[in-house]
């Protein structure tokens, strides 16, 4: 069935490139997404619209970044609604390929950012960053943007993308934007839709626990061991019985996202992943950042 968004949505790489050529050689801002858009995504699009002549967004639920027991089959998809929101914000092209367009039967090449597989998030999701690095590299090759926009909520992912852009000499500027939160502090995520009403009410404990870790550092004149910071985070999480699996609490360099033992005035990135009921939630804060 024909849609009013047919001219906006390009589903193949040749069709996208043809459409892109008609828009000239001006600066291009790119916002890659997996759809199910929320205010976090839309804030990236607004920034791209303000700073670039042309804005492209992609919608592709990338199968290679999901593990065998993860939620690929139920990940929310709402292309027409997403297209409506993107059109209202002035996006010029939506690239929405299917799996076969991005990964042909004889596709064998992978981009493997091995050092990041050893991070807390990498260990908890084996192969995840290889899937992310591969698909982002492919999307950047297709879109060839001047600027690409990502959210700080996925902190290690942002570091991975910066690394591959530098290592592979991709001529794109990577722009990291602050995490967008609900009024109660919960980081916006498409997966928040999985939360039951009761789980949603207690989910802000994630952000609350991170702030407690930061406060321990602030209270000691911006000096604390990673062990002390983690203990403060755990103290808050232990008060909430519906947090049934803390996968990790990690204190990392805010430059390369690798673990550190102590935090001085330069700060750190404090991140965690946990299960609230059956829903996996991740979040992070950069110590001392304005928020």
Active site residues: 41
Q: Which residues are bridge partners to 95 per DSSP?
A: 10, 58
**Tokens 């092209």, residue located:** 93
> Does residue 217 sit in helix, strand or coil?
helix
Whole-angstrom distance, CA of residue 1 vs CA of residue 290: 47
- CB-count exposure of residue 191 (10 Å: 0-12, 13-18, 19+): middle
Quick count: other Cβ atoms within 10 Å of Cβ 228?
A: 16
N-to-C CA span, the chain: 45
Please enumerate in sequence order all residues whose Cβ is within 8 A of that of 88, keeping only pairs 6 or more positions apart, or say none: none
Nearest to 229 by CA among 189, 285, 184, 274: 285
The residue length of the chain stands at 291
Q: Which residues are bridge partners to 9 per DSSP?
A: 94
Q: Which residues are bridge partners to 249 per DSSP?
A: 272
Nearest to 151 by CA among 133, 125, 167, 174: 174
Going by the DSSP 8-state scheme, the letter that residue 14 receives in this structure is H
Q: Which residues are bridge partners to 57 per DSSP?
A: 31, 94
């Amino acid at each position: 069935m024909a849609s009013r968004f047919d001219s906006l949505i390009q589903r193949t790489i040749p069709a996208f490139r043809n459409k892109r050529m008609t828009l000239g050689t001006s600066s291009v801002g790119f916002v890659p997404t997996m759809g199910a858009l929320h205010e976090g995504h839309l804030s990236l699009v607004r920034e791209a619209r303000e700073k670039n002549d042309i804005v492209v967004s992609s919608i592709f639920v990338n199968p290679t970044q999901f593990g065998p027991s993860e939620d690929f089959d139920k990940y929310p998809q709402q292309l027409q609604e997403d297209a409506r929101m993107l059109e209202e914000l002035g996006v010029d092209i939506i690239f929405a390929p299917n799996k076969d367009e991005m990964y042909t039967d004889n596709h064998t090449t992978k981009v493997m950012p091995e050092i990041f597989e050893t991070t807390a998030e990498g260990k908890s999701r084996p192969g995840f960053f290889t899937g992310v690095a591969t698909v982002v590299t492919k999307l950047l090759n297709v879109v060839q943007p001047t600027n690409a926009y990502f959210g700080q909520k996925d902190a290690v992912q942002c570091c991975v993308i910066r690394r591959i852009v530098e290592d592979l000499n991709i001529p794109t500027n990577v722009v990291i934007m602050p995490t967008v939160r609900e009024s109660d502090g919960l980081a916006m995520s498409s997966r928040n839709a999985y939360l039951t009403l009761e789980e949603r009410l207690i989910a802000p404990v994630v952000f609350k626990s991170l702030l407690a870790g930061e406060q321990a550092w602030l209270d000691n004149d911006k000096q604390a061991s990673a062990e002390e910071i983690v203990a403060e985070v755990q103290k808050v999480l232990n008060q909430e019985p519906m947090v049934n699996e803390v996968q990790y609490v990690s204190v990392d360099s805010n430059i390369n996202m690798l673990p550190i033992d102590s935090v001085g005035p330069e700060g750190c990135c404090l991140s965690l992943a946990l299960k609230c009921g059956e829903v996996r939630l991740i979040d992070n804060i950069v110590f001392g950042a304005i928020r």
